Amino acid sequence: MKKVVKFGGSSLASAMQFEKVGNIIRADKSRKYVVPSAPGKRNDKDEKVTDLLYQCYDAAEAGKSYKSILEKIKERYMEIISGLSLNMSLDEEFNVIEKNFLEKAGRDYAASRGEYLNSLIMAEYLGFEFIDAAEVIFFDEDGNFEADLTDQVLSERLNKAETAVIPGFYGSKHDGTIKTFSRGGSDVTGSVVAKAIHADMYENWTDVSGVLVADPRIIKDPEVIETITYRELRELAYMGASVLHEDAIFPVRKEGIPINIRNTNKPEDKGTLIVESTCRQPRYTITGIAGKKGFCSINIEKAMMNAEVGFGRKVLEVFEKYGISFEHMPSGIDTMTVFVHQSEFVEFEQSVIAGIHRAVEPDFVEMESDLALVAVVGRGMKATRGTAGRIFSALAHSRVNVKMIDQGSSELNIIIGVRNSDFEEAIKAIYDIFITTEV
Ligand code: ASP
C-alpha cells in the first residue's frame, strides 16, 4: 500500500503544525511520499510565505529595499527549525536565493523557494529523502506542463526511493529555469506524484474536514460530503466551490486513484473521498450546492424561430467573435436565452446586440443583468423523483423568483438562475430542504 500525502500551507505554517503533520505521517506506514506546500498563514492577519517571496523578489528586481522582507521569510523558517529542535541551517540556501534574486532569476523561481525550503525541513524532520521537483517535473519552453516526460522521469526516480519528500508547486523547463503551476499548484504536484508511483490513495491534507455541501460563508457549519465523484466535484468546483486546484483531478482520475481530503487539525475526521464512481448510497439526495453571481442574460425573440435552421449557430457566432463564452442557453419555441458573465460581456454589449440583429433579424433582444446561477449537484438525483419539485417549492416558500431552469442531460445537476440579491436566500432554502430536513 502506497499513499501520497500533500499538506497545504496552513498545515505547515509553524513548528506546531509540522508536529501534527509528523504524527499523521508516522501513524500510517503507507504514507511514503510527502508533498509540502510553503508555510501559509498562522492566523487571519498573517502572510503566506509565497506572497512574501513574490513581494521580496519584486522589490529586489526593481532595485528597491528587500532585506526586511527577506528577514521576515527567514524568521518563518527559523521558527519551524528551532521549534522542531532540528540540527540544520538554511543560511547557505538563503545566500544562494538572495544572489539569484539580485541576478533576476524570475518570479517563478522566487515563489518556488517557499516549497523548496519547507521540503528540506520536512525531509530532515522525517528522515525521508529529499527529491528536488526541478529534477523530476517538467515544463516546455512555453511553460506548458509536460505530463508524459514528467511521469516517466518521476516514476523511475520514485521507484528507487522507499520514502521521499517532493516540494509542491514547481518544476523546471529544459533550460533549467524554474516554472511554477498556477497558485495553489501543490495540489497538482501531489496528483502527478500519485500517478507516477501508482499510489493507492492521494491524501490531500488541509484545514477543513473535507468538501462541504455548501459555502460556509452562507450556511453555518455545513455538512461535509462523505463521498463525491470526480464529475460531481467538477460541477461544484466550476460553480465556485473551492476545494482543489482544478488541474489536480486529471492525473489521478486517469489512473482511478481516489483522493481523500483530510483535516490536519482533526485527523480523526474521515474527510471526503473523491472517486471515479461508487456504489455507496449518497447520504442525501443532493451532494452539494454551489453558485456564482454576476451573470447577465440576453433574451432573443423571433416568431417562427423554431423553423429556422442555423439560428442558434448564428447567434453563438456573434458571441464567439467577441471572445465571450456562454454559460447556459435555455430555449423556448420562439425564444433563446444566452447566459454570460457580466464582466466579460459589458465591454462588448452593444456590438454583440448589433451583431445579433444583423445575423438573425430577431423581433427583439432584451437583456437582464445582476443574475446569479445556483447549481444543485448530485448523482443521487437521477434515481429520485421530485427533486426539482422540492427545489422549486423551497424557493417559492422563501419568496425567491426563479429566472431560469436548466437540467443537464446527465441528470447530475439542476442549474437555477435567480437575482444576485436572492442568491444567499436561494442556497439557504435548498440546503434546508435537502440537508437539514433529511437528517
Ligand atoms: N504556495 C503556493 C501558493 O500559495 C502553492 C500552494 O500552496 O499550493 O499558491
- Whether residue 294 sits in one domain with residue 185: no
Residue minimizing CA distance to atom 2 of ligand 1: 184
User: Could you tell me which of 350, 304, 265, 320 has the C-alpha nearest to residue 42?
Assistant: 265
219 lines ligand 1 (CB under 6 A): no
Domain that holds residue 124: 3-207
For the chain, helix, strand, coil in percent to 5 are 45, 20, 35
Q: What is the DSSP string of 386-425?
A: THHHHHHHHHHHTTPPP-EEEE-TTSSEEEEEEEGGGHHH
Residues 44, 178, single domain; the answer is: yes
Tell me the CA–centroid distance for residue 219 and ligand 1, in Å: 27
Q: Which of 34, 41, 48, 109 to mutate to test the pocket of ligand 1 (most atoms within 8 A of CB)?
A: 48
HSE on the CB side for 402, CA within 13 Å? 21
Residues 196 and 305 in one domain: no
**Residue 218, SS3 per DSSP:** coil
Residue 247 lies in a domain: no
User: In this predicted structure, what is the pLDDT of residue 278?
Assistant: 86
* Judgement on whether residues 308 and 420 belong to the same structural domain of the protein: yes
What's the chain's length in residues? 439
Determine if residue 83 is labeled as part of a ligand binding site: no
- Domain assignment of residue 351, yes or no: yes
User: In Å, how far are 6, 71, 283, 314 from 216, measured between CA atoms?
Assistant: 23, 36, 19, 42
C-alpha cell at 83: 521549534
End of a domain among 146, 173, 207? 207
- pLDDT reading at 239 higher than 90: no
Tell whether 90 is covered by a domain. yes
Residues 32, 163 within the same domain: yes
Residue 237's identity, in one-letter code, is A
- For residue 150, give the CATH number of its domain: 3.40.1160.10
58 annotated ligand binder: no
Note the pLDDT of residue 237.
Answer: 86
- Euclidean distance between the first and the last CA atom of the chain, given in angstroms as a whole number: 35
CATH of residue 423: 3.30.2130.10
pLDDT digits (tens, 9 = 90+) for 168-190: 999 999 999 999 999 999 999 99
In percent, how much of the chain has pLDDT > 70? 99
The three grid cell numbers given for residue 388, joined into one nine-digit string: 426539482
**Mean pLDDT, residues 145-171 taken together:** 97
Examine residue 41 and state whether it is found in any structural domain, yes or no: yes
Instruction: Give the residue, out of 183, 245, 246, with the most ligand 1 atoms within 8 A of its beta carbon, to mutate for a pocket test.
Output: 183
Residues 167 and 33 both lie in one domain: yes
Domain contains 432: yes
378 is in an annotated binding site: no
Query: At residue 238, does pLDDT exceed 90?
Result: no
Averaged pLDDT of the chain:
94
Residue 40 grid cell: 501559509
Last residue of a domain, one of 153, 175, 207: 207
Q: Are strands 413-419 and 259-263 parallel, antiparallel or unpaired?
A: unpaired
Separation of CA 178 and ligand 1 centre (Å)? 15
Q: Rounded CA gap, 18 and 28, in Å?
A: 16
Mutate to test the pocket of ligand 1, among 37, 191, 192, 245 (most ligand atoms within 8 A of CB): 37
Over 90: is that where the pLDDT of 429 sits? yes
- Of 207, 227, 252, which closes a domain? 207
348 is in an annotated binding site: no
Which residues have CB under 8 Å from 170's CB, separation 6+? 108, 111, 112, 115, 116, 133, 134, 137, 178, 179, 180, 181, 185, 189
pLDDT of residue 307: 83
**Selected residue with higher pLDDT from 202 and 408:** 202
38 lines ligand 1 (CB under 6 A): yes
Mean pLDDT within 265-276: 96
Mean pLDDT over 82-94 rounds to: 97
pLDDT band at 410 (very low <50, low <70, confident <90, very high): confident
Distance 113 CA to ligand 1 centre (A): 11
Residue 231 has pLDDT above 70, yes or no: yes
Gap between the Cα atoms of 439 and 426, Å rounded: 20
CA atoms within 13 A on the CB side of 163: 16
Task: Supply the residue whose CA is at minimum distance from atom 6 of ligand 1.
Answer: 184
Is 269 marked within a binding site?
Answer: no
50 assigned ligand-binding residue: yes
Lowest mean pLDDT among 96-110, 160-174, 399-413: 399-413
Whether residue 63 sits in one domain with residue 152: yes
The answer to whether the CB of 288 is under 6 A from ligand 1 is no
Whether residue 110 has its Cβ less than 6 Å from ligand 1: no
Q: Is residue 100 part of a domain?
A: yes
Q: Give the count of domains, the chain.
A: 2
Is the pLDDT confidence value at 340 over 90? yes
Residue 361 lies inside a defined structural domain of this protein: yes
Give yes or no for residue 439 having a pLDDT over 70: no
| Residue 126: per-residue pLDDT | 98
Distance, CA of 396 to CA of 205 (rounded, Å): 39
* Number of C-beta neighbours around residue 437 at 10 A: 11
235 lies in some domain: no
pTM across the whole model: 0.88
Q: Are residues 202 and 292 in the same domain?
A: no
Separation of alpha carbons 146 and 54, rounded Å: 25
User: Do 71 and 190 fall into the same domain?
Assistant: yes
Cβ of 113 less than 6 Å from ligand 1: no
Q: What pLDDT is stored for residue 15 in this prediction?
A: 98
- pLDDT-above-90 percentage for the chain: 85
Q: Check: CB of residue 206 under 8 Å from CB of residue 261.
A: yes
Average pLDDT over residues 372-400: 90
Using one digit for the tens of pLDDT, what is the confidence trace for 23-66? 999 999 999 999 999 999 999 999 999 999 999 999 999 999 99
pLDDT at 437: 83
Residue 48 labelled as part of a binding site: no
